[in-house]
Amino acid sequence: MVFFCFLVDQKRMVRNSKPAAGTCSRCGGGASVADIKTATRFCYVPFYWKSWRAIICTFCGATLKSYR
Ligand SMILES: [Zn+2]
């Protein structure tokens, strides 16, 4: 019997963040500049890592602006 695994997910980790000027366009919460690391996983095995910096909402987690 053959199992096919098509489970791909992304895990986002905010490494450090500090308050930034601006508010969220979705919920009006405070914005912060954060260093984010995104791991793309296939069958729970990470195969692609990306570090980037973005302005995110501290309340709902929406990405307001990304620098890359
Ligand atoms: Zn928000």
Ion ligand 1, residue ranges at CB < 5 A: 24, 26-27, 29, 57, 59-60, 62
Structure confidence at residue 2 as a pLDDT band (50, 70, 90):
low
Query: Does the reported pTM lie above 0.95?
Result: no
Structure confidence at residue 62 as a pLDDT band (50, 70, 90): very high
What is the per-residue pLDDT for 7?
84
How far is the centre of ligand 1, averaged over its atoms, from the C-alpha of 50 (Å)?
A: 23
- The type of residue at 36 is I
Query: Domain locations in the chain?
Result: 8-66
Distance CA 39, CA 36 (A): 10
- The answer, yes or no, to whether residue 68 has pLDDT greater than 80, is no
pLDDT tens sequence across 12-56: 999 999 999 999 999 999 999 999 999 999 888 899 999 999 999
- Rounded to whole angstroms, the Cα distance separating 32 from 45 reads 30
CA of 45 relative to ligand 1 center, distance in Å: 30
Give residue 30 CA to ligand 1 midpoint distance, Å.
7
Question: Looking at residue 48, what DSSP letter applies?
Answer: E
